[in-house]
Structure 1
Amino acid sequence: MPLDYDLYWSFRSPYSYMVAPRLLALEAEHEVACRVRPVYPLAVRTPEFFDTRDPLWLPYFMTDVFREAAFLRLPFRWPRPDPVQRGPDGRYPEAQPWIHRLTHLGVAAAERGRGLAFLVEASRVIWSGDVDDWQEGDHLARAAERAGLDFAEMAAAVDAAPDRYAAVVEENQVAQRAAGHWGVPMMVFGGEAFFGQDRFDQLKWRMQQHGLTARRGS
């Protein structure tokens, strides 16, 4: 049986974007199964979180995300537009159609067994800098197709039952905190939380201690 772990992940997190390709490669090369559990970003869940940050937090964060992307050799630009909308006063309104729908699409992809592949493809569209107005046209549809999904079917399901998908996201968020942290990306293996894309190597190391094996032919 493959080893399995939970992945708590946000479409608005640059670090989530950065770790997803490595997790997909891990699953392709080893007997590992990822349970994708999308969550809303902190800006939606707890926007007051950012009100208490030290003034140095944002400048360092913006330096670090570009540096880390360059280190990982990933194309990177802050999304245009930001998946989380802000009002003229700089506050985050309660109505957030883009990030809610994105997160629900992530849930739907996971339910169809292609969650991790969809996270990789969709986040590349949003974060790589190759696409402006990622929310328009067929950008997400083509990302879903590359992930092996029928976007029209998946989107119709999401749009028809937003409350059901929101409930799944809420369950994920409760489970995330119960597992030991609130941030993303967060991998939970064997009851142990690994928070941050820079914990990937430790996650793999722990899996190796529990008998991680290569897939045949990889």
Structure 2
Amino acid sequence: MTLAYDLYWSFRSPYSYLVTPRLVALERDHQVSANVRVVYPIAVRQPDFFANNDPLWLSYFMRDIGRSADFVGLPFRWASPDPVQMDFATRTYPAEQPHIHRLTHLGVAATERGRGLAFLDEVSRLIWGGEVTDWHLGDHLALAAERAGLDLAEMDAAIAADPDRHVAIVTANQEAQRAGGHYGVPLMVFEGEPFFGQDRFDQLKWRMEQRGLAKR
């Protein structure tokens, strides 16, 4: 029996990047399947979210990302460019965003082509892994898509031909995310139970083992 769970995931979330290799390995080694549901980051959904947080939130967040990456053995550097443009002085976000909508809609397209998790893995490594800067230029994204078994130009063309449908899918994902029990990412929802955060992976797997998770 193959178990299934919903994965709510954002290209602006370094924590989403940190959990993805473990989700890939889980699916590779066990009879489990992720229903990938990409969402816009909270900075796009609620532009004033970070401006209204306690100032300590951001300083702790920045410290914890590096520590968490070290703990799980993944390289990390803050994305260059950031998938979401931000004014760090005011912790606010301009309405016009050059990257995040394309990335998110590509995630939808990859999922529809049966390669969602692989695409998230390859592109998040590109953005957050620190090996390249200007990940949005040249053939970086195209090669990441190719490694995931996809054709970037074909997906871009499909999105351009029907952008409203891709937006609608993301909107539906965000509604389902809240119904699943949380607004943040990464969020894994298994049999109606939400597991929020990359540090909940072991609990997710533990619960799946209780439900008969089997090796391939």
Worse-superposed segment, 85-94 or 64-73: 85-94
Partner of 1:137: 138
- Return the offset for 1:160: 2.1
- Paired amino acid for 2:199: D
Worse-superposed segment, 28-37 or 151-160: 151-160
- Paired amino acid for 1:195: F
Tell me whether 1:11 sits opposite 2:31 in the alignment: no
> Is there any run of 5+ residues in structure 2 with no aligned partner, and where?
none
User: CA–CA distance in 2 between the matches of 1:124 and 1:198?
Assistant: 18
- Return the offset for 1:8: 0.1
Given that 2:50 and 2:91 are in contact with CA atoms closer than 8 Å, whether structure 1 keeps it comes out as no
SS in 2 for 1:48: coil
- Paired amino acid for 2:75: P
Partner of 1:198: 199
Percent identity of equivalent pairs: 69
Cα deviation digits, residues 72-104 of structure 1 (max 9, x gap): 110100001101013696531222230000000
Tell me whether 1:111 sits opposite 2:103 in the alignment: no
- Return the offset for 1:47: 1.5
User: CA–CA distance in 2 between the matches of 1:73 and 1:89?
Assistant: 32
Cα deviation digits, residues 81-139 of structure 1 (max 9, x gap): 10101369653122223000000000100000000000000000000111111111111
Partner of 1:40: 40
- Paired amino acid for 1:67: R
SS in 1 for 2:108: helix
User: CA–CA distance in 1 between the matches of 2:109 and 2:73?
Assistant: 29
SS in 2 for 1:49: coil
- Return the offset for 1:36: 0.4
User: CA–CA distance in 1 between the matches of 2:108 and 2:68?
Assistant: 27
Given that 2:5 and 2:33 are in contact with CA atoms closer than 8 Å, whether structure 1 keeps it comes out as yes
SS in 1 for 2:21: helix
Partner of 1:211: 212
- Return the offset for 1:181: 0.3
User: CA–CA distance in 2 between the matches of 1:56 and 1:96?
Assistant: 26
CA 1:162/1:89 → structure 2, altered by over 3 Å: closer, same or farther? farther
- Return the offset for 1:140: 0.7
TM-score computed with the length of structure 2 as normaliser: 0.96
- Paired amino acid for 2:132: V
Cα deviation digits, residues 171-190 of structure 1 (max 9, x gap): 00000001110000000000
Given that 2:51 and 2:91 are in contact with CA atoms closer than 8 Å, whether structure 1 keeps it comes out as no
- Aligned Cα RMSD in Å? 1.2
Matches within 5 A, 1:55-204: 55-86=55-86, 91-204=92-205
CA 1:61/1:86 → structure 2, altered by over 3 Å: closer, same or farther? closer
CA 1:69/1:186 → structure 2, altered by over 3 Å: closer, same or farther? same
SS in 2 for 1:52: coil
- Paired amino acid for 1:179: G
Q: How many residues end up aligned between the 2 structures? A: 215
TM-score computed with the length of structure 1 as normaliser: 0.96
- Return the offset for 1:156: 1.1
SS in 2 for 1:47: coil
